[in-house]
């Protein structure tokens, strides 16, 4: 079952970029941080869309891996990907980007990881899909591509051209 | 995503994929160590004992730092001020420590095979921090990491291991690892310090002429002359060893190329390597030490995930 089609996805990405710019005009004192591994596909698109609107050097873009901050390493060992934050986050607004917001545990770990780099003035969250009824921690997104209102028995799979050959979001039987 | 082994006893037991996994994880930990806060909470529920039955500076500090950077609780044991001095057996000592709920053991011992023996009798994951003249797996991993970092590859790399091959666990672990990763390995040094079976058993080249070995290699890993393990004279004097086999600026200047100089430490300056070589830009000895912490963090992280299945 398709949740977001290949036709819908580019306009959602564009909308998210516009909403971010509306809230943080010119991205003044704001930085973009994509979460490894799969949030980075979305943040790459959003950053490209932002660079259509404002000068490319105004967009400070980093990537954050949260593997070493997870609360489930005893259950499943994950492969760490590269963290690359070529700027200071001290006193900045950090806009975290991930593909699916599910239990909230990844974002909890990301907040922890972020604090190892300094003390941001504010952290805000942008996701493509919000599985709101499945939340286990008090964490909410500020920018949402699509919200799922019902607790779904399905797995949400976000597919990206670079990795899966197609840009869309589908529901899979878990 | 896990290692194929429960313990890290030697490179001999690792698959190529294990080595790649450790090296790639170490790359990420090296980045962690550049952050303003160099500590991650990954192993905050893990207690690790460092059992050192043999002296060590680098390895013990490196392991302890790696454990602390991962937020593990750390207990240090050195044989000189322990009950082992009263005659307690290794297994008794370890079982007593483990009954106090310790999850992992990092062990150095002068007897080859000591950690392998322990692994047969206890459940906790064991990391071998050097056993006699057998293996020193984390040293080989950090050597490989450093070579890969500087040259961009391991496959096809020409590595000369020079000096006291006979008594060196670093040499054996390095040979296992480099062969598994597709590097070419040559050992060089006096015939009395190179085991005669090595060429056949390990498929390495043997070169008794140090200048030829240096001319051949991309990387020279120079080993310490281990006087404490030699109970008979294997060369006539340290002075003569330096003249015939020591790495000197003179020797390096005669080469028409740049090679990397490595040493696992501690250096006998003026014996296997001259001071000006150790301090020269050729030398990546301090990079090795820096990388050691990241590599050991990777080993600890990958082994704990394995040792406590939910």
Question: Is the per-residue pLDDT at B307 higher than 70?
Answer: no
Buried b (16+ CB within 10 A) or exposed e, A29-63: ebbbbbbbbbbbbbbbbbbebbeeeeeeeebbbbb
| Residue with the larger pLDDT of the pair B256 and B14 | B14
Of residues A22, A42, A51, the one with CA closest to residue A145: A42
Q: Are residues B255 and B125 in the same domain?
A: no
Q: Which residues of B touch A115 (CB under 8 A)?
A: 37
Q: Are residues B123 and B150 in the same domain?
A: no
CA distance B51 to chain A (A): 24
Q: Which residues of A touch B2 (CB under 8 A)?
A: 77
Residues 211-230 of chain B with CB under 8 A from chain A are: none
Q: Which of B23, B44, B305 to mutate to test the interface with A (most CBs of A within 10 A)?
A: B305
Contact B35 A117 (CB under 8 A): yes
Q: Are residues B148 and B283 in the same domain?
A: yes
Structural domain for B156, as ranges: 137-288
Structural domain for A92, as ranges: 2-173
Is B5 part of a structural domain of the chain?
no
C-alpha distances out from residue A67 to A5, A105, A129, B4, Å: 30, 12, 21, 20
Into how many domains does chain B fold?
2
Contact A74 B310 (CB under 8 A): yes
Question: Is the per-residue pLDDT at B232 higher than 80?
Answer: no
Q: Which residues of B touch A67 (CB under 8 A)?
A: 28
B34 touches chain A (CB under 8 A): no
| Residue with the larger pLDDT of the pair B274 and A74 | B274
Is B6 part of a structural domain of the chain?
no
Predicted local confidence at residue A154, as pLDDT: 85
Q: Taking CA B296 as the corner, what is the angle to CA B292 and CA B299, rounded to the nearest 5 degrees? A: 145
When the pLDDT of each residue in chain B is averaged and rounded to a whole number, the result is 92
Contact A65 B28 (CB under 8 A): yes
Predicted local confidence at residue A71, as pLDDT: 82
Q: Are residues B213 and B283 in the same domain?
A: yes
Q: Are residues B172 and B284 in the same domain?
A: yes
Is B80 part of a structural domain of the chain?
yes
A56 touches chain B (CB under 8 A): no
pLDDT tens digit string along B250-268?
Answer: 999 999 899 999 999 999 9
Q: B89 pLDDT band (50/70/90 cuts)?
A: confident
Q: Taking residues A55-65, what's their average pLDDT?
A: 95
Predicted local confidence at residue B310, as pLDDT: 38
Contact A83 B308 (CB under 8 A): no
Residues 64-123 of chain B with CB under 8 A from chain A are: 70
- CATH number at A149 reads 3.40.50.2020
A116 touches chain B (CB under 8 A): yes
Q: Are residues B184 and B118 in the same domain?
A: no
| Residue with the larger pLDDT of the pair B79 and B147 | B147
- CATH number at B184 reads 3.40.50.1370
Q: Which of A33, A63, A68, A83 to mutate to test the interface with B (most CBs of B within 10 A)?
A: A68
Give residue B107's region: left, alpha or beta (phi > 0; psi -120 to 50). beta
Q: Which residues of A touch B35 (CB under 8 A)?
A: 116-117
Residues 67-86 of chain A with CB under 8 A from chain B are: 67-70, 73-83
Question: How many angstroms separate the CA atoms of B176 and B12, rounded?
Answer: 6
Into how many domains does chain A fold?
1
Contact B310 A116 (CB under 8 A): no
Q: Which residues of A touch B305 (CB under 8 A)?
A: 73-74, 76-77
List the single residue in B36, B40, B302 with the smallest CB-CB distance to A77: B302
Residue % of chain A over a pLDDT of 70: 99
pLDDT tens digit string along B41-51?
Answer: 999 999 999 99
Predicted local confidence at residue B237, as pLDDT: 87
Contact B39 A116 (CB under 8 A): yes
Q: Which residues of B touch A75 (CB under 8 A)?
A: 310
Residue spans of beta strands (DSSP E) within chain A: 2-4, 30-35, 61-64, 93-101, 122-130, 143-147, 154-159, 168-173
Q: Which residues of B touch A65 (CB under 8 A)?
A: 28
Give residue A27's region: left, alpha or beta (phi > 0; psi -120 to 50). left
Q: How far apart are the first and last CA of chain B?
A: 15
Residue % of chain B over a pLDDT of 70: 96
pLDDT tens digit string along A4-50?
Answer: 999 999 999 999 999 999 999 999 999 999 999 999 999 999 999 99
Predicted local confidence at residue B267, as pLDDT: 93
Q: Are residues B284 and B144 in the same domain?
A: yes
SS3 B305: helix
Crossing angle for the helix pair B137-151 and B58-69, to the nearest 10 degrees: 80
Q: Which residues of A touch B301 (CB under 8 A)?
A: 68, 73, 77
Q: Are residues B164 and B120 in the same domain?
A: no
Reading the block at residue B85, the tokens are: 């001095």
Question: Is the per-residue pLDDT at B90 higher than 50?
Answer: yes
Question: How many angstroms separate the CA atoms of B142 and B49, rounded?
Answer: 21
Beta strands A2-4 and A168-173, pairing class = antiparallel
CA distance A150 to chain B (A): 30
Predicted local confidence at residue B305, as pLDDT: 63
User: Any idea which of A54-63, A72-81, B15-24 has the lowest mean pLDDT?
Assistant: A72-81
Q: Are residues B171 and B54 in the same domain?
A: no
Predicted local confidence at residue B308, as pLDDT: 45
Contact B42 A65 (CB under 8 A): no
Q: Are residues B148 and B220 in the same domain?
A: yes
Question: Is the per-residue pLDDT at B306 higher than 60?
Answer: no
**Order of strands, edge to edge, in the sheet holding B73-78?**
B73-78, B47-52, B104-109, B125-131
Predicted local confidence at residue A22, as pLDDT: 97
Predicted local confidence at residue B309, as pLDDT: 43
Is B174 part of a structural domain of the chain?
yes
Predicted local confidence at residue B214, as pLDDT: 97
Is B41 part of a structural domain of the chain?
yes
Q: Are residues B171 and B299 in the same domain?
A: no
Predicted ipTM > 0.90: no
Contact B35 A116 (CB under 8 A): yes
pLDDT tens digit string along B49-86?
Answer: 999 999 888 999 999 999 999 999 999 988 777 777 67
Is B3 part of a structural domain of the chain?
no
DSSP assignment of B4-23, as one string?
S-SSB--GGG--HHHHHHHH
Q: Taking residues B262-277, what's their average pLDDT?
A: 94
Q: Are residues B154 and B274 in the same domain?
A: yes
């Amino acid at each position: 079952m398709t949740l977001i089609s290949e036709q819908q996805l580019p306009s959602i990405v564009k909308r998210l970029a516009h909403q971010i710019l509306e809230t943080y005009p010119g991205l003044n004192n704001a930085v973009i941080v994509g979460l490894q591994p799969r949030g980075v596909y979305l943040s790459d698109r959003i950053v490209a869309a932002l660079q259509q609107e404002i000068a490319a050097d105004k967009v400070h873009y980093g990537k954050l891996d949260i593997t070493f901050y997870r609360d489930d390493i005893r259950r499943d060992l994950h492969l760490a990907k590269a963290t690359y934050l070529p700027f200071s986050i001290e006193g900045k607004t950090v806009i975290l980007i991930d593909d699916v917001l599910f239990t909230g545990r990844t974002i909890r770990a990301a907040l922890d990881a972020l604090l190892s780099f300094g003390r941001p003035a504010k952290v805000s969250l942008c996701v493509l899909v919000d599985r709101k009824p499945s939340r286990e921690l008090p964490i909410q997104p500020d920018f949402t591509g699509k919200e799922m209102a019902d607790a779904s028995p399905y797995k949400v799979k976000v597919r990206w051209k670079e990795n899966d050959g197609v840009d869309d979001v589908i529901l899979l039987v878990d | 995503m896990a290692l194929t082994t429960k313990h890290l006893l030697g490179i001999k037991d690792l698959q190529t994929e294990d080595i790649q996994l450790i090296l790639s994880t170490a790359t990420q930990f090296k980045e962690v160590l550049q952050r303003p806060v160099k500590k991650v909470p990954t192993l905050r529920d893990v207690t690790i004992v460092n059992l050192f039955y043999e002296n060590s500076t680098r390895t013990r500090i490196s392991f302890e730092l790696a454990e602390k950077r991962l937020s593990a609780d750390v207990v240090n044991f050195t044989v000189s001020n322990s009950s082992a001095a009263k005659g307690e057996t290794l297994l008794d000592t370890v079982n007593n420590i483990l009954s106090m709920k310790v999850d992992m053991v990092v062990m150095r011992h002068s007897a080859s095979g000591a950690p392998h023996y322990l692994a047969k009798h206890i459940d906790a994951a064991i990391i071998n921090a050097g056993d006699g003249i057998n293996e020193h797996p984390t040293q080989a991993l950090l050597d490989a990491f450093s070579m890969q970092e500087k040259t961009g590859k391991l496959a096809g790399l020409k590595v000369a291991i020079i000096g006291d091959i006979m008594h060196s666990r670093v040499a054996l672990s390095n040979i296992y690892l480099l062969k598994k990763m597709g590097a070419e390995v040559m050992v060089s040094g006096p015939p009395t310090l190179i085991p005669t079976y090595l060429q056949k058993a390990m498929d390495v080249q043997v070169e008794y002429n140090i200048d030829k070995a240096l001319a051949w290699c991309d990387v020279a890993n120079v080993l310490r002359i281990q006087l404490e393990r030699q109970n008979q004279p294997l060369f006539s004097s340290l002075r003569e060893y330096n003249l015939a086999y020591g790495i000197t600026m003179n020797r390096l200047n005669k080469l028409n190329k740049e090679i990397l100089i490595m040493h696992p430490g501690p250096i006998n300056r003026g014996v296997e390597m001259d001071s000006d070589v150790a301090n020269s830009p050729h030398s990546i000895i301090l990079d090795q030490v820096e990388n050691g912490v990241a590599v050991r963090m990777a080993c600890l992280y990958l082994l704990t995930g394995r040792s406590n299945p939910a």
